[in-house]
């Protein structure tokens, strides 16, 4: 396949489909190609509820053909490399694909191999699980749990939906309470970070949630190894000079510390967010920053070296949470800047302020909605604020219903159609 298109979009996930759909609404005559090999498109935000048995996995999947905007050229192939000097990308099966403008939105990839033993532990389908890879298995593990150590953790790498590892901890804790297992269970949420959440009003609410469920919150805990034969998870203390984060005596979890920084803890249930990285073909290019993510301007989403390339979504090197809500605010900026370039104007829209949001489910029928910018300011969306009326930094059943019913509807019927949300 040798071809040329006015605009090539790499990725048919949330970001890629939104960009193509919004562009065509502005100008149906645009020549747009979307490079996406997958036949199935997933609404992944619902996987948290799938893992807690409160949403059907099948409802999160639709054929990619059903969300691909009418009028685009769908190329069912994989991107393999970039040639930005010649405005071309290489594909796995079709050779070169040339463009005038390029939108890079392939998402990120799971990298379980970065934690020793994690790949094998997930493949065994026993009591190690992840909503990121198989939420239906998480639900099975939760149902089979009879007590002991239930450990929830996340890696030191950036991850999509950074709040998801704690959401399932709260749902599991509520499940244990409802099924008479709370007194038999040690729930541990262990994170490489230093706070439960970086936005002050949300942090205050979540601290109360931790106390309500008696969750053992451990900071500076970076998972480094899973021994699934002996059911032990190993952490590295990310701040060995501060030994206050390690429990050495009277710890019912059976935790031990080896030397100054290695901690081991037995588990009866272990939920992890695997480490995550940009796709390899992105990492291998000269389009990335020092951390291996697409190097775009934080406010215009334009590439810092190649002005006819834009990037958004999970692959973008932006200091904000990688969520679909962030894409909802990023996509109009990219669309506006692309249309300006097409009209021979400057791509001068620098309006993206880092907005992202995290619907933090805190139990069955309970949720808070964290909305924030680059500076971790709590910034409720005015449209949502009018719709919800109440303070979304506090737990409310209506927010849970919003996540379970309204957000999927808005995703499939508004966002994927290129409509304003």
Check residue 308 and give its pLDDT: 98
Rounded to whole angstroms, the Cα distance separating 20 from 11 reads: 10
The per-residue pLDDT for range 366-397, each reduced to its tens digit, is 999 999 999 999 999 887 777 766 789 999 99
Do residues 271 and 315 share a domain? no
On whether residue 230 sits in a domain, the answer given is yes
Q: Angle at the Cα of 364 (from 121 to 174), degrees rounded to 5?
A: 60
On whether residue 167 sits in a domain, the answer given is yes
Check residue 238 and give its pLDDT: 77
Check residue 389 and give its pLDDT: 61
Do residues 204 and 220 share a domain? yes
Do residues 326 and 286 share a domain? yes
The number of distinct structural domains making up the chain is 2
The dihedrals phi and psi of 37, each to the nearest 5 degrees, come to: -80, -20
The per-residue pLDDT for range 169-207, each reduced to its tens digit, is 999 999 999 999 999 999 999 999 999 999 999 999 999
Do residues 248 and 149 share a domain? yes
> What's the pLDDT band for 241 if we cut at 50, 70, 90?
low
> Catalytic residue at 129?
no
Do residues 160 and 174 share a domain? yes
User: Sign of torsion, CA 208 214 219 223?
Assistant: negative
Check residue 94 and give its pLDDT: 78
Q: Which of 128, 161, 265, 335 is catalytic?
A: 161
Rounded to whole angstroms, the Cα distance separating 255 from 403 reads: 36
- How many residues would you count in the chain? 421
The per-residue pLDDT for range 104-135, each reduced to its tens digit, is 999 999 999 999 999 999 999 999 999 999 99
For residue 28, the enclosing domain spans 3-108+278-351
Do residues 282 and 268 share a domain? no
Q: Is the pLDDT of residue 250 over 50?
A: no
On whether residue 409 sits in a domain, the answer given is no
On whether residue 49 sits in a domain, the answer given is yes
Do residues 87 and 149 share a domain? no
Percent of the chain with pLDDT over 90: 91
> What's the pLDDT band for 347 if we cut at 50, 70, 90?
very high
On whether residue 356 sits in a domain, the answer given is no
3 state DSSP class of 99: strand
Do residues 267 and 120 share a domain? yes
> What's the pLDDT band for 240 if we cut at 50, 70, 90?
low
Q: Which of 298, 324, 351 is the last residue of a domain?
A: 351
CB count in 10 Å sphere of residue 90:
15
On whether residue 401 sits in a domain, the answer given is no
Phi-psi map region of 331: left, alpha, beta (phi>0 left; psi -120 to 50 alpha) = alpha
Q: Which of 351, 386, 405 is the last residue of a domain?
A: 351
Do residues 271 and 285 share a domain? no
Smallest CA-to-CA distance from 107 within 68, 64, 154, 160 is with 160
Q: Is the pLDDT of residue 226 over 80?
A: yes
Do residues 189 and 334 share a domain? no
Do residues 165 and 264 share a domain? yes
Q: Is the pLDDT of residue 36 over 90?
A: yes
Check residue 346 and give its pLDDT: 97
The per-residue pLDDT of the chain, averaged, comes to 95
For 222-290, the DSSP string reads: EEEEEETTTTEEEEEES-TT-GGGS--SS-TT--EEETTTEEEEE-SEEEEPPPEE--HHHHTSSSB-T
On whether residue 32 sits in a domain, the answer given is yes
Q: Is the pLDDT of residue 87 over 80?
A: yes
Dihedral of the alpha carbons of 194, 282, 47, 365, in degrees to the nearest 10: 40
Do residues 119 and 103 share a domain? no
- Under a CB-based contact definition with an 8 Å cutoff, are residues 277 and 159 in contact? no
Check residue 248 and give its pLDDT: 44
On whether residue 347 sits in a domain, the answer given is yes
Q: Which of 358, 360, 370, 399 is catalytic?
A: 358
The strand pairing partners of 221, in sequence order, are 237
> Catalytic residue at 245?
no
> What's the pLDDT band for 2 if we cut at 50, 70, 90?
low
Mean pLDDT throughout 126-155? 98
Phi-psi map region of 288: left, alpha, beta (phi>0 left; psi -120 to 50 alpha) = beta
- CATH number for 190: 3.50.50.60
Q: Which of 259, 275, 291 is the last residue of a domain?
A: 275
């Amino acid at each position: 396949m040798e071809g040329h298109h006015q605009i090539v979009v790499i990725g048919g996930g949330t970001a890629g489909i939104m960009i193509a759909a919004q562009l065509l609404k502005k100008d149906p005559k645009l020549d747009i190609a979307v490079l996406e090999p997958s036949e199935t498109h997933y609404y992944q935000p619902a996987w948290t509820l799938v893992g807690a048995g409160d949403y059907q996995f099948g409802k999160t999947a639709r054929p990619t053909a059903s969300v691909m905007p009418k009028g685009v050229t769908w190329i069912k192939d994989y991107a393999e490399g970039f040639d930005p000097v010649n405005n071309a990308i290489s594909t796995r099966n079709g050779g070169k694909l040339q463009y005038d403008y390029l939108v890079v939105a392939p998402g990120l990839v799971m990298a379980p191999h970065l934690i020793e033993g994690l790949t094998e532990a997930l493949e065994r389908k026993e009591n190690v699980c992840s909503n990121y890879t198989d939420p239906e298995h998480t639900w099975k593990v939760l149902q089979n749990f009879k007590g002991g150590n239930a450990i929830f953790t996340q890696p030191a790498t950036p991850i999509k939906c950074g709040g998801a590892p704690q959401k399932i901890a709260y749902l599991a804790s509520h499940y244990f309470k409802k099924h008479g297992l709370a007194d038999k269970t040690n729930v541990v949420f262990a994170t490489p970070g230093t706070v439960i959440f970086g936005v002050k009003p949300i942090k205050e609410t979540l601290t109360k949630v931790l106390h309500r469920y008696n969750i053992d919150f451990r900071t500076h805990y970076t998972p480094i190894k899973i021994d699934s034969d002996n059911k032990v998870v190993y952490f590295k203390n990310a701040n060995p000079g501060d030994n206050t984060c390690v429990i050495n005596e009277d710890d019912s979890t059976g935790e031990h510390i080896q030397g100054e920084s290695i901690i081991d803890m037995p588990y009866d249930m272990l939920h992890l967010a695997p480490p995550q990285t940009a796709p390899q073909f992105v990492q291998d290019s000269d389009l990335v920053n020092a951390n291996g993510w697409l190097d775009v301007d934080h406010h215009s989403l334009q590439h810092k070296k190649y002005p006819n390339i834009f990037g958004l979504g999970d692959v973008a090197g932006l200091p904000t949470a990688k969520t679909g809500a962030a894409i909802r605010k990023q996509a109009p900026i990219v669309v506006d800047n692309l249309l300006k370039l097409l009209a021979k104007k400057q791509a001068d829209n620098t309006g993206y302020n880092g907005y992202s949001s995290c619907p933090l489910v805190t139990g069955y029928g309970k949720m808070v909605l964290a909305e924030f910018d680059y500076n971790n300011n709590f910034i409720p969306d005015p449209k949502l604020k009018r719709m919800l009326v109440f303070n979304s930094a506090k737990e409310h059943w209506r927010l849970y219903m919003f996540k379970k019913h309204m957000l999927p509807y808005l995703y499939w019927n508004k966002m994927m159609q290129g409509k304003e949300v």
